[in-house]
């Protein structure tokens, strides 16, 4: 057996080094995209960007912190409503209102966490759902925000955002890309930080990590708040693009949580790559089955159930096991000294 | 007097919520399974009832004799074929599989029956009959029957749990699966039976719901939430607690509805969250844990 | 005739190998002790015999039939019962219910509630109490009674004296002749060597997943046992 000093701890793999080059190319492509594609395609990319961001956040919660939430639509809806309120009632530029909404949601999510953290496991899931319903029903009662039927972002505010429609759409596009890349970087950095290690320890064994002095509550709280803030920011962006909000659309379980859970589960929960694969599969299936409505949801549902039962690590899990791939090197691996010198 | 009226309406509403909650409570109590598709199974049972009543042309209450064994048998098969595979130390598989089932059931119902609102009509006028007690207080006959049936379900389950061999096997498996197996109890079979019993209660809940209110494929999830809230309010692991939880939720919603129709559901959620904060283990938790 | 025979029995917990080729025999009417220190593989061995750990089918035979791959709920029906380490009574069942559920397999034989109460009279007065409200010794009696209720031909006892006072241990072992009376074979697993050897016809000593010594208590010297036990 080799001695301890014969091993090195490393996170990078050959594939991850190639991947860096690939990421750079993708980022350049995303930034130059508006030059090449039409408005419809741009909207499509924006949609992909915010679903991928939502998926990364849900994956951070459920896949890494074990907080399986079915109530993230609470923060999407809050983000939308706070952005519109800020723009309409306080005259804040919508793009400025979005980060402000994010901060407010961070504050709101803390007491929320104290309530839902009293529930464990699956009960936590349903608890978060109840909280989201409370927000939906409460916003339906606020008459100044249009009550149950909702409200639109006034044309004057929309026009005031930028010079002309094209400029406005570019602005939203780059905001979406910025949020996507920012959130991916955030998740990546978080998982490589000491919180990433703490999360892995908690996932392996809560009692053991507790005895090692890891503050489980604090770690989970940080993840919960981070996910709430980013999810809320995405919510602000979504309704800035839609220009219209209502309680049912803002706090929609199917749109903002069901779809996202399917994306993560099918792609591969507990990896950064999984949500990316899942998003690609989700949009491909949607394009294929767009005309079939309910059938599309049935297919997705069956796909998710089958994945969970027979390939619980998702499509990415199957791929990475087959080819031993890791595109985001967040796992620490032990390699022998001789291997490292090669 | 008005408050007494509200209280009575709430208790009557709570009967149905108790039925929603009992199935959940059973599944969690015996298997530690939280079934996200629970509400959708209730609505599925309502549609099965609808078809049975339509095809056989029988009285809705008699339809129970068909729907209950049908759902119970289906529950056993579902557990043996699908859900037993998900049980283990990881909470994700059961949660996400039942979540997937929820979406599948909703959309299958939507494909087959469309999104139109449905209701089972009682030809004998039972659904509108009421007993007038005073100027302010009247008791709907149908809600009263539902409440009585839900209490009956609790009594029967209580008997099964504490007086029969099956009940002993349920409790033993819930306590310690490995040792229960040493007694000759096959946990897979017992889990199948537990799901069958839970689904039988779901069938009762679904058929009674179809007589009392309108329903469509999308209303399952809110039934799950009501059932869940009743279970947590009452305290895990106690059937009488579940009854109390159902009734409290019903009263909360009745009071909310009285303030403003938009407040009915909201008030139920708020009472649930308040109880969760002050009594995290519910009002009547089982002492042994 | 041997009731239980294991041939080259191996067992794993995930990647960890706990048993390395155990050859073992238990004959009708015998009391056999398995001794060994903590982690020697004694409990793994018992868990394999009762089917809580699945093995290669041929590695365990019961009355010359392979049972290694049978599940626990099938094995009790064949006539093998276990008194688990730490007693593990069902907390939500009363004493009497704990005993009744012992006969879930519906095997016929001499044991029934009345006979168990005759064997352990103290339990009769406490039959309605929750099993967990009893003293340690009484709980152990319930656990033994629960196993006997399945009318086993082989009774496996895992560390039944652990954590009990010496007088209580004596009371419990006093029941052994009654249990054996109609030919039931008993396998006793104990860390307490003296206790185990004083009641057994033969013994096996386990060490790091292997049977390091076997024989009759009278034929083997203390020194040999000590060295097999500690691996010195």
Cβ–Cβ of B228/A130 closer than 8 Å? yes
Q: What is the ipTM of this complex?
A: 0.91
Q: Looking at chain C, how many residues does it have? A: 232
Query: Minimal Cα–Cα distance from C67 to chain B, Å?
Result: 15
pLDDT confidence band for B289 (50 / 70 / 90): very low
Of the candidates B76, B247, B68, B237, the one whose C-alpha atom is nearest the C-alpha of residue B161 is B237
With 50 as the cut, is the pLDDT of residue C176 above it? yes
> What is the 8-class DSSP label of residue C1?
-
Give the CB-side neighbour count of residue C146, counting CA atoms within 13 A.
32
Q: If pLDDT is split at 50, 70 and 90, which confidence band does A338 have?
A: low
CB contact under 8 A, A305 and B100: yes
Whether residue A7 has pLDDT greater than 70: no
Confidence of residue A2 (pLDDT cuts 50, 70, 90): very low
B195 with B79: CB under 8 angstroms?
A: yes
What pLDDT, on the 0 to 100 scale, is given for residue C51?
Answer: 93
Query: What's the CATH code, domain A4-341?
Result: 1.10.3470
Report helix, strand or coil for C90: coil
Would you place residue B273 in the very low, low, confident or very high pLDDT band (cuts 50, 70, 90)?
very high
Q: Is pLDDT of A5 > 80?
A: no
**Residue B66 clears pLDDT 60, i.e. is over it:** yes
The beta-carbon neighbor of B97 closest among A123, A126, A305 is A305
Instruction: Find the closest chain B residue to A138 by CA distance.
Output: B266
Intra-chain end-to-end CA distance of chain C, in Å: 35
For the whole prediction, is pTM greater than 0.80?
yes
Q: Tens digits of per-residue pLDDT, C41-88?
A: 898 999 999 999 999 999 999 999 999 999 999 999 999 999 999 899
Mean pLDDT of chain C: 90
Is 70 exceeded by the pLDDT of residue A342?
Answer: no
Cβ-nearest to A312 among B82, B93, B95: B93
Domain residues of chain B, as ranges? 2-220
pLDDT grade, residue A82 (50/70/90)? very high
Nearest CA in chain A to B35: A122
Nearest-by-Cβ selection for B168 from C97, C130, C146: C97
Of residues B195 and A65, more confidently modeled: B195
The Cα A275–Cα A269 span in angstroms is 7
CB contacts < 8 A, B to C, total: 67
CB contact under 8 A, B277 and A300: no
Has residue A323 got a pLDDT over 60?
yes
> What sections of B164-219 are H helices per DSSP?
165-175, 177-182, 187-212
State yes or no: pLDDT of B100 exceeds 90. yes
Contacts of A253 in chain B (CB under 8 A): 221
Measure CA A52 to chain center: 6
Q: Between A133, A141, A297, which is nearest B225 by CB?
A: A133
Q: What are the C-alpha distances in Å from B102 to residues B35, B49, C46?
A: 9, 19, 43
What tokens appear for B79 in the block? 């557990």
Chain B hits for A295, CB-CB cut-off 8 Å, are 107, 111
Structure tokens at A126: 């349903």
Candidates B206, B231, B225; CA nearest to B269 is B225
Domain boundaries, chain A: 4-341
Q: Work out whether the CA dihedral A133, A135, A138, A143 comes out positive or negative.
A: negative
Q: What pLDDT score was predicted for residue C227?
A: 84
Q: What is the mean pLDDT of chain A?
A: 87
Smallest Cβ–Cβ distance between B225 and the set A129, A265, A298 belongs to A129
Highest mean pLDDT among A64-68, B46-50, C159-163 belongs to B46-50
Contact A125 B95 (CB under 8 A): yes
Structural domains in chain C plus CATH codes? 2-230 (3.40.50.300)
- Residue A195 banded pLDDT, cuts 50, 70, 90: confident
**Secondary structure of residue C51 in the 3-state scheme:** coil
Q: Is A115's CB within 8 Å of B276's CB?
A: yes
User: What is the average pLDDT across A296-316?
Assistant: 90
* Contacting residues for B145 by C-beta, under 8 A, at least 6 apart: B126
Residue A271 scores a pLDDT above 60: yes
Contact A190, A54 (CB under 8 A): no
Q: What is the pLDDT of residues A11-58, one digit of tens each?
A: 667 777 777 888 888 888 888 777 777 888 888 999 999 999 999 999
Q: Dihedral sign, CA of B239, B243, B244, B248? A: positive
Q: Is B196 exposed, middle or buried (0-12, 13-18, 19+ CB in 10 A)?
A: buried
Least CA distance to C132: which residue of chain B? B288
A25 to chain B, closest Cα gap in Å: 35
Flag the least confident range among B117-131, C12-26, C168-182: B117-131
Distance from C-alpha of A29 to C-alpha of B40, rounded to nearest angstrom:
44
pLDDT greater than 70 at residue A336: no
Identify the pLDDT of residue C215: 86
């Amino acid at each position: 057996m080799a001695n301890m000093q014969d091993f090195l701890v490393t996170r990078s793999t050959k594939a991850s080094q190639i991947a860096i080059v690939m990421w750079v190319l993708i980022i350049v492509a995303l930034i130059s995209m508006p030059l090449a594609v039409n408005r419809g395609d741009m909207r499509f990319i924006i949609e992909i960007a915010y679903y991928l961001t939502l998926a990364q956040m849900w994956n951070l919660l459920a896949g890494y912190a074990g907080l399986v939430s079915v109530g993230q639509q609470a923060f999407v809806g809050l983000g939308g409503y706070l952005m519109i309120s800020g723009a309409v009632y306080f005259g804040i530029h919508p793009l400025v209102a979005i980060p402000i909404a994010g901060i407010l949601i961070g504050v709101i999510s803390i007491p929320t966490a104290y309530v839902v953290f009293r529930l464990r496991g699956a009960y936590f899931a349903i608890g978060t759902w109840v909280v989201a319903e409370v927000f939906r029903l409460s916003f339906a009662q606020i008459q100044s925000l249009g009550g149950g039927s909702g409200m639109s972002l006034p044309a004057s505010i929309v026009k005031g955002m930028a010079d002309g429609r094209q400029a406005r759409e570019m602005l939203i596009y780059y905001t979406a890309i910025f949020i996507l890349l920012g959130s991916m970087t955030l998740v990546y950095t978080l998982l490589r930080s000491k919180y990433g290690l703490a999360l892995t320890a908690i996932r392996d064994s809560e009692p053991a990590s507790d005895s090692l002095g890891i503050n489980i509550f604090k770690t989970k709280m940080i993840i919960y708040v981070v996910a709430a803030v980013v999810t809320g920011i995405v919510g602000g962006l979504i309704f800035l693009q839609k220009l219209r909000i209502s309680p049912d659309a803002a706090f929609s379980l199917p749109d903002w949580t069901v779809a996202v859970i399917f994306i993560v589960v099918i792609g591969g929960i507990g990896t950064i790559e999984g949500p990316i694969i899942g998003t690609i599969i989700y949009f491909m299936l949607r394009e294929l089955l767009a005309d079939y409505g309910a059938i599309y949801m049935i297919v997705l549902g069956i796909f998710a159930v089958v994945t969970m039962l027979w390939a619980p690590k998702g499509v990415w899990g199957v791929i990475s096991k087959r080819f031993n791939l890791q595109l985001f090197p967040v796992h620490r691996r032990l390699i022998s000294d001789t291997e490292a010198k090669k | 007097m008005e408050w007494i009226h509200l209280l009575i309406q709430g208790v009557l509403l709570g009967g149905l919520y108790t039925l929603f909650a009992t199935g959940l409570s059973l599944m969690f109590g015996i298997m530690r399974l939280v079934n996200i598709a629970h509400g959708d199974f209730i609505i599925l049972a309502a549609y099965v009832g609808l078809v049975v009543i339509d095809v056989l042309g029988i009285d809705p209450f008699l339809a129970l004799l068909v729907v209950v064994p049908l759902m119970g048998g289906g529950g056993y098969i579902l557990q043996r074929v699908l859900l037993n595979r998900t049980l283990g130390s990881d909470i994700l598989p059961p949660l996400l599989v039942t979540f997937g089932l929820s979406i599948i059931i909703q959309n299958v119902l939507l494909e087959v029956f469309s999104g139109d609102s449905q209701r089972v009509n009682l030809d004998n006028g039972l659904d509108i009959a009421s007993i007038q007690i005073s100027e302010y207080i009247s008791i709907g006959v149908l809600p009263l029957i539902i409440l009585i049936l839900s209490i009956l379900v609790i009594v029967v389950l209580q008997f099964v749990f504490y007086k029969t061999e099956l009940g002993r096997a349920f409790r033993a498996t819930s306590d310690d699966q490995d040792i229960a197996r040493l007694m000759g109890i096959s946990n897979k079979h017992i889990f199948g039976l537990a799901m069958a019993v839970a689904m039988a209660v779901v069938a009762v809940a679904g058929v009674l719901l179809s007589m009392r209110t309108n329903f469509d494929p999308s209303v399952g999830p809110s039934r799950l939430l009501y059932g869940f809230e009743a279970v947590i309010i009452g305290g895990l692991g106690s059937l009488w607690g579940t009854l109390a939880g159902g009734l409290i939720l019903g009263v909360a919603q009745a009071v909310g509805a009285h303030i403003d129709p938009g407040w009915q559901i909201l008030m139920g959620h708020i009472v649930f969250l308040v109880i969760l904060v002050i009594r995290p283990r519910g009002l009547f938790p089982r002492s042994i844990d | 005739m041997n009731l239980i025979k294991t041939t080259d029995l191996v067992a794993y917990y995930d990647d960890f190998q706990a048993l390395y080729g155990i050859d073992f025999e238990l004959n009708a009417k015998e009391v056999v002790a398995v001794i060994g220190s903590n982690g020697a593989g004694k409990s793994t061995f018992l868990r394999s015999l009762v089917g809580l750990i699945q093995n290669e089918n041929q590695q365990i035979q019961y009355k010359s039939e392979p049972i290694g791959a049978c599940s626990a709920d099938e094995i009790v029906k064949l006539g093998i019962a276990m008194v688990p380490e730490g007693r593990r009574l069902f907390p939500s069942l009363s004493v009497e219910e704990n005993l009744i559920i012992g006969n879930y397999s519906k095997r016929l034989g001499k044991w029934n509630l009345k006979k168990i109460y005759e064997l352990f009279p103290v339990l009769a007065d406490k039959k309605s109490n929750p099993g967990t409200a009893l003293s340690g010794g009484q709980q152990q009696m319930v656990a033994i009674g629960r196993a006997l209720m399945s009318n086993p031909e082989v009774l496996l006892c895992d560390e039944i004296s652990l954590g009990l006072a010496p007088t209580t241990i004596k009371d419990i072992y006093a029941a052994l002749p009654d249990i054996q009376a109609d030919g039931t074979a008993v396998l006793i697993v104990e860390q307490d060597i003296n206790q185990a050897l004083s009641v057994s016809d033969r013994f096996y000593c386990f060490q790091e997943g292997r049977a390091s010594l076997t024989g009759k208590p009278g034929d083997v010297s203390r020194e040999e046992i000590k060295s097999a036990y500690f691996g010195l």
